Amino acid sequence: MADMRVNLCGVELKNPVIAASGTFGYGMEYNEFYPVSRLGGISCKGTTLQERMGNPSPRIADTPAGILNSVGLQNPGVDAFLSTYLPWLRQQDTVVIANLAGHSVEEYCQMAERLDASDVDIVELNISCPNVKEGGVNFGTSCDMVSTVTSEVKKRCRKPLMVKLTPNVTSIGDIAAAAEAAGADCISLINTLTGMRIDIRTRRPILRNNTGGLSGPAVFPVAVRMVREVFKRVKVPVIGMGGISTWEDAAEMMIAGASAIQVGAANFRDPFAMVKIIEGLENFANEQKLSSITELTGTLMEWA
């Protein structure tokens, strides 16, 4: 039987399948379908310094082979996460990843300090947020801003630091390299692609926020390409996500270079999606006579 365990910067996961932030809440609802202890880890809903109500409705729109969302980081704030949700998560026998979102370096740092003293296993830095002090440009679109926020958070947090990259950039490899140089212990990608849908009768955007983040199977080929680019540029582990719906997708992402994968939108369509992916990966690893699932990572043989 293949060993399904993977190690992410010193943290051992029982398998490489992680629930992606923003699509799984804190795992409580899904725990009614199956024990979330079956997962390698849970990346919790994006957490901000203060409670956020999110964007006005409508904030979800269907798209061909995907979903467009502009939820706006609705969450109870870091204090509620630490006092209410983390104690429950710590009883579930799975790796807990706290996802941080902020609109200034100071906000990120304040949350990092609080999480450093907590029982979370890994901190995931969501840098797809607008920097309000720099004209609203997203942190993740500039190597300089990526470097600044990563290095400042790293100074205040001894937990393994995972930096989650936006795909809405010119060179994902340069952004990943900047994060690694600034102290990132691992890189996760991709976050959603920016998109829009329009109601042709009202001639207004369907989303109240006008644009939103595209996820689901439609983005999978883009994610695979970007994971491969980042794998070739950095030495730290890469966590791949974006449109993974089946175990075959997960295997493909690992072959491209991912040490572990995150599953998001697929959970909305099928609450058992991740369980099926774990079982499928294990069967595939045994079929391929692998001693460890880690033997898949980075084994792509590109054409000359």
Among residues 44, 109, 129, 157, which one is catalytic? 129
For 82-103, what is each residue's pLDDT tens digit? 999 999 999 999 999 999 999 9
Longest dimension (CA), the chain: 58
| Sign of the CA dihedral running 181, 184, 186, 192 | negative
Can you identify the CATH homologous superfamily of domain 6-296? Answer: Aldolase class I (3.20.20.70)
Low-confidence ranges of the chain (pLDDT < 70): 132, 135-136
* Residue ranges per structural domain of the chain: 6-296
Q: What is the pLDDT of residue 128?
A: 86
Q: What is the pLDDT of residue 232?
A: 98
Q: What is the pLDDT of residue 132?
A: 67
pTM of the model: 0.97
193 close to 43: Cβ distance less than 8 angstroms = no
Whether 129 is catalytic: yes
Q: What is the pLDDT of residue 137?
A: 75
CB hemisphere CA count around 1 (13 angstroms): 5
For 195-236, what is each residue's pLDDT tens digit? 999 999 999 999 999 999 999 999 999 999 999 999 999 999
